[in-house]
A and B are shown apart, each in its own frame.
Chain A
């Protein structure tokens, strides 16, 4: 398979879902079964992705394939010469891996939805939306430039808006869609500013060109500080899309969407786009930016984890867990554990999609009951779902033999190493803490849902195992949550091809003095420049490698212990009921309430930002109507005072004379009218006086 062929294949993968979207949307009304077209398309895309993955990783493992085309030609721009704005696609290991994940999960969700969404009024429309989502996501993955990234970034926002608000008759659903879009836009503003900085500095959007210019010592506004700022601003996009603190509030609400959608976009793909963005721009991140990213990641890992501890909605728990896991990834990137972070992205995609689909299966079985306190004992009724859910729970808790163990441990290892190299132990500390909490709340969820006695017997009676089209995706994902696909050694991910050959930490392009010490290149600067575009292994410095190796065993043991502890506590609380949970909650009531009420983020944002904006807008509208208009219209108050003296004035005002100059003019006119008394002798007196005045002026 030649490179052009691969490009064409990539383009096909990109545009097939769009075709699916258009066809399904336009003929959705007429042809009942048009959704099958969309499903066929996505299967085709998946096959293409597999072929691409295979080809790329087998034959072009160290070659990046780029194809670009000029989208907009700006002509002969003064000072810059001929300028074009290019768009193009980049096929490298990261993108093919990502595309594989995206198309796979998308396909599984499509299949899962066939039964899950059956009978919905807008059945075909739903599949159309899935199509446009897949298209947008694929675009993000394949882009080789920042502009296209932004374009598809926004399109993903749109499709998520459409999908979250799919059941738009429900106010909560359309609210959630709106919230998701707007909160995302907040992050996008930062990203846009970052893009503006990049473009004004480099006059290109293409990553590789930007990187090589940075490596050549050309910075935004000629200062390294602004390079840091650029990095942080771009990362803002990721904060929004990946629902990182403090913009995480939209994701739990987004659970209003159909559950398969949650699995697709709010677990596996769209939210991962933020992480993917950071992965893409990783080379230009300075130590300051990385530190910022790490802190945000840490907070995002921690806060939602605490919230997830107490939630009762099955999907909410998963949502907060998603944020928390994404926080892990972001933190991992922040501490320089690039490979592990991306690895976690992939593994998490599978098991989190599995969890969501599993919960979908449960919800489907329970007739759209989502409260876990009303479930229980479903293990017997839904064995497949239970089994797959259990595997996923183990994976997310980081229990050995699962994929989650491999990737999560990598991140913890990275933060451990980071702590040891820089002294910032906080990341490692929080990482481990969250690992324990994760284990706890996942098993709390599992136990309450599947174990014990059924709490709602009526619903329980009707519960049943899901049909094949729903169970199959669960099985596939469960299989993919096993370690074997990634590495032969369940305790060391780096022995697998994925980490040793496919994912490689890119060469940083930031200046040496704005990197962490351990990241400083030991190669001469000019060599570094040449290596920018090459996909060669870079492992920062010798000391980092050592620290990482040193961290492996301690972090592994620690995380295992903590995860085990978390599971143990969960079992003792909910399965064996050793501790009265309600009593415990009572005894730490403030903390419990804080967690249960999601740290009051929604309330605070609602009051401060939404309320503030609305208040401001109302104030301005009032201002506009009364003050601005009033000022331009002349002194309305003066006029009103005058109107008391002249009854006629009111008539005229009513007559439509509420007008600009008219107020003042009318007033002046009124003065002039006073002279026109109708008495000719008065006129003559006035003439005499004006003559006197004229003579005085001109004497």
Chain B
């Protein structure tokens, strides 16, 4: 089957853009910005193409044949004598129902963030070059099916992010940037270790029947592909799968960010420029949960089942803890940052349920959180651009001065607290329905529902402090939204409303995959317990 390699296109297009930008003279800021906008715009179109040609009936997960838009060829192929040094790495891209929403999300959020970046005036060239590099890294993570490739993309986005926060950020940007960098690197070295361990434990059968070690994630999901004595092989009675799982999980959890690894997030968010906060919250955090879904769950199904309670527990802690912390914040952006912690807790809770509703809810929540939080950060950005402060206490009554803006704010806030008719509601409900359906974590789920109460608490309180009440004298000069800001808010609002009313549009994308995943996890229980008898 030959067709246009759309996944490579969508992934590497930004790199092409980056190279082009490097050749544009520094002074041509507008050209650089427009070029970035065009590139990200094409990405959105490409994502819509993917959506259009996506076959809803194919499941993916562990079945290579039901992935779509597959691009696979040998990337690194080093023959060895004996087995030493033999290494085969595939350039293996493909998407299923779990990645499609995130590809879409990445394209959209990046596009919006580009519009938001229009205000950047300092080293424009560097900013947009790094921005596009970041884009490639994020997109790559969601389409890579080879662990090695996945890891490369995973790490690829660290450095641009560091600079984007560190150079274009707020007053304490250096601290925030390095904190982000060190935390995430700390997480990713564990991922690297487990990746290597898995490589030496799993094999792939070549066309000629020989078995070789593999980085292919799909091959790792089949327990029959494991070697007899690999340290991470379930066949090996002394395997280290539990420890590896925890390592891997921590690696991903730092990105989510999961309590107690979340402390980088408020700093990074607060210091990052608006567009980067949008990307951080909108896409980057999803990489953690995506990683857990794509890697931890199907490769270690039996461990997942053992640890599901803890995952849910941490999900619950995230929800409650994040919400309570958000409530105490005086900095608008920090509040939103903590609300992200809380919302990502829902994703974890949903994943832990291991049933269709929960996992669909989790993925859907990933998408929704991406759009909603992007919007929230843009909202903070708008106010910060005008007032140059984010102190919640400093404002009041902006609704009078900026009615349209306040309208969008209200929409975003209510979406964030899960109001029906807006997308957040469906995903949160699904998470609860799914998690509650799993007896083991039922109590945790009930406690987690407190999160929606607290969420309403801090969001409405913020709404009141900033937008309602009487207008303060010094803010009478603030102006309402500009055309550019409309261009950011309207698409996001439409998505939020559309998915709230017609969630099937997104849910049907992932249904088949989620169901195969649930089925796979359930079957794996039997399969792995039979393996233990080896």
Contact = CB atoms under 8 A, between A and B. Distances in A.
Quick check: do A and B touch in the complex, using CB within 8 A? yes
Interface of A: 71-80, 83, 147, 150-152, 154-155, 158, 161, 165, 168-171, 174-175, 177-178, 181-182, 185-186, 189, 192-193, 196-197, 199-200, 613-614, 616-618, 620-622, 624, 628-629, 631-632, 656, 658-662
Contact of A661 (B182, B397, B507, B514): B182
A169 B420 contact: no
B487 interface: no
B400 to A, nearest CB: 7
Given A78-B515, A617-B328, A660-B182, A193 B446 contact: yes
Contacts of A614: 327-328
A72 B507 contact: yes
B519 interface: yes
Q: Which 6 A-B pairs have the closest CB atoms?
A: A621-B328, A75-B511, A151-B420, A174-B468, A617-B327, A196-B436
Given A151-B420, A617-B324, A632 B260 contact: yes
A73 B504 contact: yes
A315 to B, nearest CB: 21
Given A170-B469, A632-B261, 19 more contacts: A77-B518, A154-B425, A158-B419, A168-B399, A169-B471, A170-B470, A175-B464, A186-B453, A189-B452, A196-B432, A199-B433, A199-B437, A200-B437, A613-B454, A617-B325, A620-B324, A628-B263, A632-B260, A659-B182
B174 A656 contact: yes
A614 B328 CA distance: 7
Contacts of A192: 432, 449, 452
B9 interface: no
Contacts of B421: 151, 155
Contact of A196 (B326, B445, B514): B445
Contact of A169 (B183, B327, B400, B503): B400
Given A151-B425, A631-B260, A178 B461 contact: yes
Contacts of B437: 199-200
B511 A197 contact: no
Contacts of A181: 456, 460
Interface string B103-127: 0000000000000000000000000
B179 A72 contact: no
B460 A178 contact: yes
Contacts of A197: 436
B75 interface: no
Contacts of B486: none
A147 B329 CA distance: 34
A177 B355 CA distance: 37
A471 B307 CA distance: 67
A659 B514 CA distance: 40
Nearest to A189: B449
B325 A185 contact: no
Nearest to B177: A656
B175 interface: yes
Interface in B387-401: 397, 399-400
Contact of A659 (B175, B355, B467): B175
Contact of B328 (A147, A151, A618): A618
B118 to A, nearest CB: 26
Nearest to A147: B429
A632 B179 CA distance: 11
B12 interface: no
Nearest to B460: A178
Given A154-B420, A178-B461, A200-B433, A165 B468 contact: yes
B470 to A, nearest CB: 5
B316 interface: no
B325 A620 contact: yes
Nearest to B341: A624
A192 B461 CA distance: 23
Contacts of A656: 174-175, 178
A599 to B, nearest CB: 23
A659 to B, nearest CB: 6
A628 B260 contact: yes
B192 to A, nearest CB: 17
A629 B515 contact: no
Nearest to B510: A75
Contacts of B259: 628
B512 interface: yes
A196 B439 CA distance: 12
